[in-house]
């Protein structure tokens, strides 16, 4: 079950379109403060698409679930509570669930997806490297 939005938690482990240089990061950039990057064991990344909301049309997006791989994340502080709530709501409506994890000794939130073994695997676990700089489609 999803945790409710917590306005006190401002740090998140972003691994896809909210990473620096990607489409949703550019949209929310004034409110996102990059802290550090990390590789996280115990997760696998797959390709899904297109993004299931009308507001943000992305050709593909990553889904991450627990597994025997490793993913690249950027620990990012969301500096505005309303924007943090908007991102939280956007991710939950897209089918993700919210969890709290520890990255580099910091408690952060991450959005995970139910295991989807029929979707293509991102072997490197690095969405930016795999997909490149995606563009928001009109």
Please report which confidence band the pLDDT of residue 119 belongs to, taking 50, 70 and 90 as the band edges: confident
Q: Say whether pTM exceeds 0.75.
A: yes
Residues facing residue 110 across a β-bridge = 99
pLDDT in tens, 45-104: 998 876 555 555 566 778 999 999 999 999 999 999 999 999 999 889 888 999 999 999
Out of 3.30.70.260, 3.10.490.10, 3.40.1190.20, 3.40.640.10, which CATH number does the structure's domain 11-131 have? 3.10.490.10
DSSP classification of residue 121 = B
The mean pLDDT of 110-133, rounded to a whole number, is 86
The full set of domain ranges for the chain reads: 11-131
The Cβ-side half-sphere exposure at 97, using a 13 Å CA radius, reads 10
Q: CA nearest 88: which of 26, 30, 11, 35? A: 11
**Structure letter (DSSP) for residue 31:** G
């Amino acid at each position: 079950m999803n945790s409710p939005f917590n306005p006190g938690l401002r740090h998140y482990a972003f691994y896809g379109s909210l990473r620096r240089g990607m489409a949703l990061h550019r949209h929310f950039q004034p409110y996102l403060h990059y802290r550090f990057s990390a590789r996280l064991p115990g997760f696998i990344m797959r390709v899904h698409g297109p993004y299931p909301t009308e507001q943000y049309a992305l050709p593909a997006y990553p889904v991450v679930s627990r597994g025997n791989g490793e993913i690249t994340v950027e620990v990012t502080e969301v500096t505005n509570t309303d924007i943090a709530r908007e991102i939280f709501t956007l991710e939950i409506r897209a089918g993700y669930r919210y969890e709290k994890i520890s990255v580099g000794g910091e408690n952060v939130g991450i959005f995970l997806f139910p295991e989807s073994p029929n979707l293509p695997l991102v072997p490197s676990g690095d969405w930016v490297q795999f997909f490149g700089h995606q563009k928001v489609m009109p």
